[in-house]
Amino acid sequence: MDGIYHQQQKLLLCGLSAVNNLLQNEHYTSQQMNELADSLPNYQKSFFNYHSNFLKIGNYSADVLINALQQVGKQVVYFDKRQPNHLNSIVQDQNLLGFLLNKEEKKFFFTTHHWFSILKKNQNWYNLDGKLKKYTLFKNDENLIEFLNKELKNNLTIFIVYNNKKQIDTQMKENQQQQQQDTVQQENINQQQVVENQLQQLDVQLIDKKQQIDNENSLQNNQIIDTIQNGVLSIENSQNIDEISSVENTQQIINTQIIENTQKIENSQEIINVQSIENTQTLENIDSIENSQQIVNTQNMESCQKADNPVQIGNSQQIINIQSLENSLQSDNVQQKETKKEIDESQI
């Protein structure tokens, strides 16, 4: 229908059918592939040929298949599975013939490798696996890329097959450039990540340093506040002590004054008492004199009866003496009153 050549696998000749399906005809036979395998160097230097099965029934190495494609002018490039994003640009290449694929398969207690090919023809993609009874068609490029990415996770190996050497050189150059760009981009990303990490570390260090400075400032401020408070308390205590001392000194002065005033009062009281005693004695003297005077008067009256003139002279002299004594007593009373007044004023 589509004019697609699809050679199915026989025995272990999956590599032979994969190459012929890419070339879209039976270009090689098993005998030709065996001869090609025998012509290649035996790198392992074993008794059996490294490049094919010792029974000559297939199981060809990648070197045999690549050489077979190169002999008809095709170029084969190994695809780096670490760069799966390159598949998007590869499938768009107009000179791309297809893919030569090797899939690892585990059977019982041993592992085998199966070769098959995918062909690009008329902008369509065909899976020409020799194990399939009929080839399959991929819907689009995205469907193909999805299939390849899935198989890459299952140890799929991809070889890119181009139609001519010029195109492969260009593609290799582009791939190298792309790889270099990717490498530079990755290095830039790594450097940027390193710079970001360093900046983050610096930010953390700055935050820690700021926190440390804030803590130190807070501690210093607390110390300053404590010092100021202690100074204020010391000043207040000093002022209180000074005030207490001043009050005590004032109290001492007042007590001294009170003692002095008390002594003055006591001295004045003693003076008053002495004066009172003296006044009392004076009054007693006056009473005694008056009594004496009465006695004298009585005697005088009796004498007058005997001799009038001599008695009158004696009486006059006695009257003068009594008046002098009364004046002296009045003067003493005035002095006592003045002294008492002075004492009262000093107590106030």
pLDDT in tens, 261-314: 777 767 767 766 666 666 666 666 656 656 666 765 666 566 555 544 444 445
Rounded CA separation 136/126 (Å): 6
Which of the residues 6, 51, 86, 129 is marked catalytic? 129
Rounded CA separation 4/2 (Å): 5
Query: Could you tell me the strand order of the sheet in which 96-107 lies?
Result: 75-78, 156-162, 96-107, 110-121, 124-127, 136-138
Q: Residue 155: is its pLDDT beyond 50?
A: yes
CB atoms within 10 A of CB 313: 8
pLDDT in tens, 229-267: 776 566 666 666 677 677 677 778 777 877 777 777 677
Q: Residue 320: is its pLDDT beyond 80?
A: no
Class of domain 14-163: alpha beta
Q: Residue 6: beta bridge partners?
A: none
28: region left, alpha or beta (phi > 0 left; psi from -120 to 50 alpha):
beta
Which of the residues 63, 113, 114, 141 is marked catalytic? 114
Whether the pTM exceeds 0.75: the reply is no
Which of the residues 6, 14, 51, 86 is marked catalytic? 14
**pLDDT band per the 50, 70, 90 thresholds, residue 179:** confident
| Contact indicator for 103, 96 with CB cutoff of 8 Å | no
First and final C-alpha spacing in the chain: 148
Q: Residue 185: beta bridge partners?
A: none
Q: Where are the domains of the chain?
A: 14-163, 262-347
Catalytic-residue membership of 14: yes
* Backbone φ and ψ of 191, nearest 5°: -65, -40
Q: What percent of the chain shows pLDDT beyond 90? A: 11
pLDDT in tens, 106-132: 777 777 788 899 999 888 999 998 888
Catalytic-residue membership of 214: no
Residue 262's pLDDT is: 72
Per-range mean pLDDT, top range of 143-152, 158-167, 214-223, 247-256: 143-152
Task: Take residue 321 and report the two structure tokens written for it.
Answer: 């003496």
| Contact indicator for 178, 89 with CB cutoff of 8 Å | yes
Task: Take residue 81 and report the two structure tokens written for it.
Answer: 């599975």
